[in-house]
Amino acid sequence: MIVTNGDARQQREKLRRTGLHDVATGIAISGELGFKKPDARIFEAARSLSHDHGAEVSSGYCSRTITKRASSQ
């Protein structure tokens, strides 16, 4: 499950470029949902959007690192 802030079109393009779009169990993008991290509603939405309904949803170093790497390519 990927939770990200930003414009949906731009974020989906980053995810496609990095190959994460194809392996994610779901994608929650603030630009589509109308609220962004750290608002708890985006994590609640992510849990309901996930194909893995037992998924743990959190915001941490790993997601920021992946985004940073993707945006620098």
- What are the tens digits of pLDDT across the range 36-56? 998 989 988 888 888 665 555
Give the pLDDT confidence score for residue 53 in this predicted structure: 59
What pLDDT is recorded for position 60?
A: 53
**Three-state SS sequence of the chain:** CEEECCCHHHHHHHHHHHCHHHHCCCEEEHHHHCCCCCCHHHHHHHHHHCCCCCCCCCCCHHHHHHHHHHHCC
Query: What pLDDT is recorded for position 28?
Result: 93
5-35: per-residue pLDDT in tens? 999 999 999 999 999 888 888 899 999 999 9
